Structure 1
Amino acid sequence: MGRGGNPLFSVHDNLSPVVSVEQNFDSLLIPPTHPSRKKGDNYYLNRSRMLRAHTSAHQRELVLSGLDAFLLAGDVYRRDEIDSSHYPVFHQMEGVRLYSNHEVPEHT
């Protein structure tokens, strides 16, 4: 068990692929003019909702729920041309582990 009674890493693989633009970009501090926001690269459903372009879109909500160690897995959607290394839907997995100051060794 990790801090706060959480399992060392909880697994989240059933979160909705429909997220807000705020979740997908703003909560990750991606500037409004960043090229990754282009309409031609993403699947926008309307002005405020879209198909997630990366599983990082769920990080803020999971951290705010009190989790400090989690794995995220799910389909992500990008407007890529299909070729030997690109496809518009693919599976992504990421891990997040937060440390408090007293858990990080000091460098001298």
Structure 2
Amino acid sequence: MTLLIALAAMALSPAPPAAPKPDPDLGVIRVSVQDLRLDRPADQDVLVDRIDRSVAAWCAVHGPAVTPHHHRFQRQFCLDGMRAELVRALDRDQRRAYDAGYRRLRSARPNGR
């Protein structure tokens, strides 16, 4: 009897609000590399800069949606995670060029970051 009352109450209750539609561009980060010669150190540095800028722009917009609550005040969480995902998506030659440019730029920074 109580089961029937509970089922009737559930049937009469309003439906939950529809879930928001996912943003089709939420997972998309685009970086142009066609104009770069990745065997040149200067172009490797440009690749690193483009990836850093693209990830920073993406995280500025979507960071709160992808950052777990307990990391919400750690800006680097989104930046590091998305940079790693983007570099993982590069092909082998692009990844090698990125790594070379990243190591070179990191060693040139005073604090090594």
TM-score (norm 1): 0.28
TM-score (norm 2): 0.27
Higher helix share: 2
